[in-house]
Amino acid sequence: MIKGVSSTLSFSLFSGMIYGVKIRLIFREKNEYLNMNKEQIMRKARLIYNPVSGKEIMRNNLADILDAIEKAGYEASAFATTPEPDSAKNEATRAAKAGFELVVAAGGDGTINEVVNGIAGLKKRPKMAIIPAGTTNDYARALKVPRSNVKAAAEVIQKQQTVKMDIGKAADTYFINIAAGGSLTELTYEVPSELKSIFGYLAYLAKGAEMLPRIKPTKMRLVYEGGEYEGNASMFFLGLTNSIGGFETIAPDAKLDDGKFSLIVVKTANLFEIVRLITLVLNGGKHVNDSKVLYVKTSFLDASLIDTDKKMMINLDGEYGGDAPMSFENLHQHIEFYANTDEIDDNAILGTVDPEEKEAGIELVKEFEKIKDEDLDQDE
């Protein structure tokens, strides 16, 4: 074969295969779009909201929020949580089993956590959306959902953008953002709920400053993917997102859907060293490279105390979740959330690859390699 003709033929075949793949994808996307529009007519959404969150902002904007959800293609209804234990959790479970395709959690991070616990254990899980109306709203910050306008938060659903989020599991409890243990984490238990509502995150900062002198080291054993830490620490911390306690630099390179926790172990209880580490956190997340910090990625963690007569409380999403020993598991891409993905950093999302597209790409590469090898044989 003449070399010029061979190269031209190879290019033509390669271009034709690419064109064929593109045509198939266009037709498939068109059919998926048409099917989506048909399904939207009958889809149901359940709004589960905390009527007292955010100075009753949800109660005052309920009609606008339901309208925004319906404009996204859902038949929307609402449920107001009650003071009874697990009110939001039980309603989320009921809605999922009743066939609702979307559950919207409206309130603070605690309400979102409770709704997640209502559906995370189910085999068939609906999509979720969030409308923040709490104090720190870490999850909304991670998903780039508006935090100061509940109607705008509901309108994110209309963009039809989603992320399959990792969820943490500790024993029979699920968490969406953090799990932690050690004396440095105990400040969250001592902030009265009324102070959280009135002063917001300033209440946490004030209590943290008050407690710093009381921090003591804890002898702990932490077994994680690829390693083990055994020694004194004032805190171990597992993060699922980069937004923790109102900061986005504690786990600066966290991904939302990679199946990995960001594990941070603070290996000191010295007041001055902790203050220095906090300064590094505020200075762009430079604490992760400090010798007093262990920072790794892991899909699991087994946490226990070396001194078994001591006690270490476990914090799950800001609430007491039991005592060590405890095991933690990352459930990879477990629940699909509506999110403002246009504003999420590309490095924070891995995304998923459609199996058919992946297979088509593999076959395309094989064909191209085959043509290239044949050309080389001809030229020789």
198 — pLDDT class (breaks 50, 70, 90): very low
Q: Share the mean pLDDT of the chain.
A: 82
Burial 303-331 (b: 16+ CB within 10 A, else e): bbbeeeeeebbbbbbbeebeebebebebe
- Give me the phi and psi of 279, to 5 degrees please: -60, -40
14 — pLDDT class (breaks 50, 70, 90): very low
Cβ(203)–Cβ(142) below 8 Å:
no
Higher pLDDT, 24 or 182: 182
Cβ(281)–Cβ(250) below 8 Å:
yes
C-alpha distance from residue 64 to each of 13, 153, 167 (Å): 55, 11, 30
Q: 197 pLDDT exceeds 50?
A: no
Q: 145 pLDDT exceeds 90?
A: yes
What is the model's pLDDT at position 370? 64
What is the model's pLDDT at position 308? 85
What is the model's pLDDT at position 309? 87
The yes-or-no answer on residue 319 being catalytic is yes
What is the model's pLDDT at position 356? 52
351 — pLDDT class (breaks 50, 70, 90): confident
Q: 154 pLDDT exceeds 90?
A: yes
Q: How far apart are CA 106 and CA 339, in angstroms?
A: 14
Higher pLDDT, 56 or 66: 66
Burial 336-360 (b: 16+ CB within 10 A, else e): bbbbbbeebeeebbbeeeeeeeeeb
What are the tens digits of pLDDT across the range 269-321? 888 898 898 889 888 889 999 999 999 999 999 999 998 888 999 999 988 89
Over the Cα atoms of the chain, what is R_g? 25
366 — pLDDT class (breaks 50, 70, 90): low
The residue ranges of DSSP E strands in 240-299, in sequence order, are: 261-266, 293-298
Q: 141 pLDDT exceeds 80?
A: yes
Q: Sketch out the chain's domains with CATH numbers.
A: 3-37+355-379 (no CATH), 43-160 (3.40.50.10330), 175-332 (2.60.200.40)
What is the model's pLDDT at position 33? 45
185 — pLDDT class (breaks 50, 70, 90): confident
User: Which residue in the list 70, 248, 273, 319 is annotated as catalytic?
Assistant: 319
Q: Kindly report which listed range (30-34, 204-208, 299-303, 340-344) carries the lowest average pLDDT score.
A: 30-34
What is the model's pLDDT at position 2? 45
Higher pLDDT, 123 or 252: 123
CA end-to-end distance (rounded Å), the chain? 10
Please state the pTM of the whole predicted model. Answer: 0.78
Q: 61 pLDDT exceeds 90?
A: yes
Mean pLDDT value of segment 349-372: 56
Residue type, 353: V
3-state secondary structure of 312: coil
Mean pLDDT value of segment 327-351: 94
Mean pLDDT value of segment 142-157: 96
